[in-house]
Structures are given as structure tokens and as C-alpha cells.
Amino acid sequence: MGPIAAFLLAGLLFLLLSMIKILREYERGVIFTLGRFWKVKGPGLIIIIPGIQQMIRVDLRTVVMDVPSQDVISKDNVSVKVNAVVYFRVLGPDKAIIQVENYYEATSQLAQTTLRSVLGQRELDEILSERKKINQDIQQILDAQTDCWGIKVSNVEIKHVDINETMIRAIAKQAEAERERRAKIIHAEGELQASHKLLDAAKVLSSQPESIQLRYLQTLSNIAVNNSSTIIFPMPMDIINKVMRQ
């Protein structure tokens, strides 16, 4: 075989190899023919015409994208740093390639701006206590806006909310004041219930004068047992009058 034949054979072999593409189960190939979109193919063995057709691989697996820490001013003018993680996957490979230049970068930038926008409409207490609802709100906004790119945002999770030391001390004072307020309310409710019970007891005792005398004598007996000192205790006149008549 001469050198020209060997060269032609090598060129033919290279051409055949460049025509064959193998796509994994989680990959799809977006095929363009002379610059125009043709179809989405895969997985498995794909044959394209070199120089005429071009294939771009698209991964269909769920992407875990970390959203960098964002400086956010809450509705009550508190500065916090918040970062999150976004889970999304490509459902429309052709849209992900044709409709946006870089779908990963576009989704990342959109997630950052949406995170700042949503948290900026919440007060600090809501950001700390209603994280699940905020995650759902961000996920719904991202999913609606990335739908035209063939992307499905399945979940958004806020990871950390960093607050400066001054704000942490203020929150601690607020929590302590809240605990004191609840303690005072509980104490006041207890006093109110006790006053109602004392009023009921007074009504019962006033309806039976003998029960007042018995209670009086029982109190004297308790004092005499628990104290060894001499106690001067006033006696009701009605008891004294009964004793003098006898």
C-alpha cells in the first residue's frame, strides 16, 4: 500500500470515527444542521455528518448549584448575609441551548437576584422563622422564570443567615423581654384565678357564720403549733358575747 493510499485510509477512518457519537443515558444531543436546529437525539449511538452537522451535549441530571452569600437589607432595615442552594435539571435540551447563552450562569444570576428580592420584602423575624415558606416562594419564582429555558427548579434551600454581633445582642434582649412579658402574664392570670377562688370561698363562708368561727379556730390552732412565741390575736366580738352569755 502506497503512502497516498495509507493517508486516504487514515483520513477515512478519522472521518468515520468523527461521525460516531455515543451519549450516556443521562445525556442528550442537540443537533444543528448547517446552523439550523434539527432535533434532539440520544441516548446511545448517534451518527452526524462532519462539517454539516454539529452536536451539543446536554446533561439531564439534577444540578446542585450553590448560591453565593448575598448582602440583603430586610424590610425592617436589618443587614444580613444569606446563602442558599438551588436544585434544578434540564427538561428541554433544545430550549436550554437555543433560548439562553449559558443556562447554568443565567440560572445562577437569576437565583441571586430573586433571593435578594424576596428576602428584602420580609422582616428579620420572618426570615428566621418562616424559612420553609420563603424557600417555596423563591422556588416558584425561579421555576416560572426558567420555564422558557427548558429548566425545572425543583427545590431551593436557604443554608445560612448571618447576622452581625450587634444585632445578635439586640435579638437576645428582645427574646429576654418576651420571656419576662409571658412570665408576667402567667403570674397575672394566676392572681386573677386565685381572686375568683377566694371570692367563691368568701361567699360560702358568709352564708354559714358557723363555718367562719371554725375556720378562725383552725387558724389559731395552726399558729399555735408552728410558733412557740406568744401571739396576741384579736377575737371577734360575736364569739366573745356568746362566751359571756354562757
**Domain-located, residue 196:** yes
Residues 95 and 159 grouped into a single domain: yes
- Domain boundaries, position 133: 63-163
Average pLDDT of the chain, as a whole number: 82
Total of domains in the chain: 3
Cβ neighbours of residue 45 closer than 8 Å, sequence gap 6 or more: 20, 21, 22
Evaluate if residue 128 carries a pLDDT over 80: yes
Residues 16 and 72 grouped into a single domain: no
Evaluate if residue 234 carries a pLDDT over 70: no
- Residue 38 is predicted with a pLDDT of 93
Say how far apart CA 221 and CA 230 lie, in whole Å: 13
- Residue 219 is predicted with a pLDDT of 67
| pTM for the full predicted model | 0.67
**Domain-located, residue 1:** no
Residues 35-45, mean pLDDT to the nearest whole number: 92
Residues 4-27, mean pLDDT to the nearest whole number: 80
**Domain-located, residue 192:** yes
**Domain-located, residue 2:** no
Residues 81 and 159 grouped into a single domain: yes
Helix, strand, or coil (residue 30): strand
Q: By mean pLDDT, which of 2-16, 61-75, 94-108 is the weakest?
A: 2-16
> pLDDT by residue (tens digit) across 136-161?
999 999 999 999 999 999 999 999 88
Residues 78 and 152 grouped into a single domain: yes
